[in-house]
Structure 1
Amino acid sequence: MRQRGLLFPSPVVMLSIIAVAMAAIAFVATRGGEPTERVITPVADPTTSAAPTPSPTAEATATPPAKPARKPVKRDQVYVEVYNNSGISGLAGRVAERATAVGWSVVGSDNWYGTIPTSTVYHPKRLTREAKLLARDLGVKRTAPAVGAMRMDRLTLVLTGEVG
C-alpha cells in the first residue's frame, strides 16, 4: 500500500524563489525614472555676439537705496555685570576695571556659582550687537542669550579663566 503525503520544498529552493521575487519587485520599482543626466547647452560668449549690446539707461544704472546706517553702540549707556566662575582670585574685579577703561558702564562684579563651559557674554535679545562688541573688546570668544535669573536690561559676563 502506498501512502501519499505532502512534500515541502527544501529551504534552498524557498530562498531562491524569495530572492527572485525580491529582484523582480526591485526591478519594477526602479524602472521608468527620469534619467539623472542632463544635456548642457553652451552659452555664446557675449564678446563674440553679433547683436549689438544696448547702452545702459539711467534707470538701469541707478543704484538701489543704501540701508540706513546702524547707530553706533554707546558703551557708556550699556550696563554690564562681571562674574568670576574660576578659581582665580580677583578676576572679575580686574576684568571689570578693563571694561570700565574701554567705556562700558560696569555696575557690579561678584562670584558666579554654577557651571559655564567657557567665558561668555550673556545678553537679552535687544543687546546682541552690544554683547558682541563687549566680547571683542575683552577677548571673550562666546556670546549667548541670557538665561535663568539673569537681568534682561544688561549684559552679564561670566568668566571661567583669564581673557584677552
Structure 2
Amino acid sequence: MITIIALGLLAMSACLAFQVLASVFAARYFAQASRQPLGPKPLRGIFLQFSILMVVLMMGNIVQIAFWAFLYRLLGAFADFETAMYFSGVTFTSLGYGDVVLQGRMRLLGPLQAANGLMMFGITTALFISVIQQVTAKWNAAESVRTNVGG
C-alpha cells in the first residue's frame, strides 16, 4: 500500500513538472502577445490569444493524462494503452464513469490521480483567469484612449 501511494505521489510530482512547463510556455506566449497592440479588430486578436493559450494548457493536461496511462500500462493495470488512456482521462477530469476500474491495491492510484487532475486544472484555470484580467485591463485602457481621443 505504501509503495502504491509513494508511486502515486511521484507521478503527481511529475505531473506538476509537466504543468509548470506548459504554464511557463503559455505565460511566455501571452507575455509576447500582450505587447502587441489590439489592432483594428481586437476581438479577433483576443480570441486567437485565448485559443492558443487554451490549446497549450490543454496539451499540458493531455500529456499528464498520457503519463498516468503509461504508468497504468507499466503496472499491468490495463491490457492496452487506449483503455489506460480512457481510464486516465476519465479519472484526471474526475468524470468517473466507472465502466473501467482499477483492481486490487492499484485502486489507490485512482483517487490520487483524480486529486492531481483537480489541482492541475486549478492551475490551468488560475492562469487563464489571470490572462482574462490582463486582457480586460488592456481592453479598458484602449477604450479609454479611444474615448478621450474621439470625444
TM-score (ref. length: structure 1): 0.22
TM-score (ref. length: structure 2): 0.24
Richer in helix (by share):
2
Relative contact order higher in (CA < 8 Å, ≥ 6 apart)? 2
